[in-house]
A and B are shown apart, each in its own frame.
Chain A
């Protein structure tokens, strides 16, 4: 029930965004495929940032445990803020890439 409601909700607002984009803003609906690819790229970059943050945090905490006088818990990194900031990192990186096209990509990503 709840899952269905949430999916319908997201579907409705997505349809609304499509209508506004296509009819009001004049966006090309044929570009939706490329946009989906860009979305998946951004998700992939976010996953990489999240993994990097967790790995570096684990390394730093285990190092601090072995050399420092006080115990540092690995649960220090168990915070939803890490995910939120990884999302921001990923989006910022993608925006940077968009502003400076990579060589060989012909300006398109």
Chain B
């Protein structure tokens, strides 16, 4: 039997077959949903010193509101604040994203004094470092960390390394209950993307 690596064409066929199988299994079976449910971090809702809503890599849309993913995270944070779980609501991300979120929070009844802004960060690690500086003086250690489902595992570890005791609150991300082929493909893309990000963070010594 000729080894698969003996011929580039054979290797291409094997790679193509693997890609086809992965595509079909991902799109047409619940395997990805099970995988996502298995790796998901459950939310822990409890009183904390601050609610930290991480940026979603976006800005605001033409109407001045944050885009969909950013909006979901911000709304989750606002609801946690309105439930009285922390005295401070911190928005992180780009300046435009933060302003859109802060304005929305105030319109939804969060006092301006309770909203803190942490602009200028581009990555999850930047956010953790910046928030350590922002909240370090207040002694806030236990925080409600609001971010997307796939992002949570990495974000939680990065914030732990920055000295926080993060309580995960999942908002947004791909819903593992959505069983349409498109949603499943988006889910496997998000999972793969996060796996690569985690490998990069490990290689860079951030985790």
Contact = CB atoms under 8 A, between A and B. Distances in A.
Contacts of B13: 37, 40-41, 44
Interface in A72-109: 73-75, 78, 105, 109
A27 B32 CA distance: 39
A43 B179 CA distance: 25
Contact of A41 (B12, B28, B197): B12
Interface in A1-59: 2-3, 6-7, 37, 39-48
Q: Interface of chain B, helix or strand or loop or mixed?
A: helix
Contacts of A109: 9
Q: Which of B9, B17, B180 has the most C-beta atoms of chain A within 10 angstroms of its own C-beta?
A: B9
B17 A40 contact: yes
Main secondary structure of the interface of A (DSSP, over half): helix
A44 B11 contact: yes
Given A3-B181, A75-B57, A78-B193, A44 B28 contact: no
Given A6-B181, A105-B9, A44 B15 contact: yes
Interface of A: 2-3, 6-7, 37, 39-48, 71, 73-75, 78, 105, 109
A82 B126 CA distance: 27
Given A7-B28, A75-B57, A40 B181 contact: no
Nearest to A43: B16
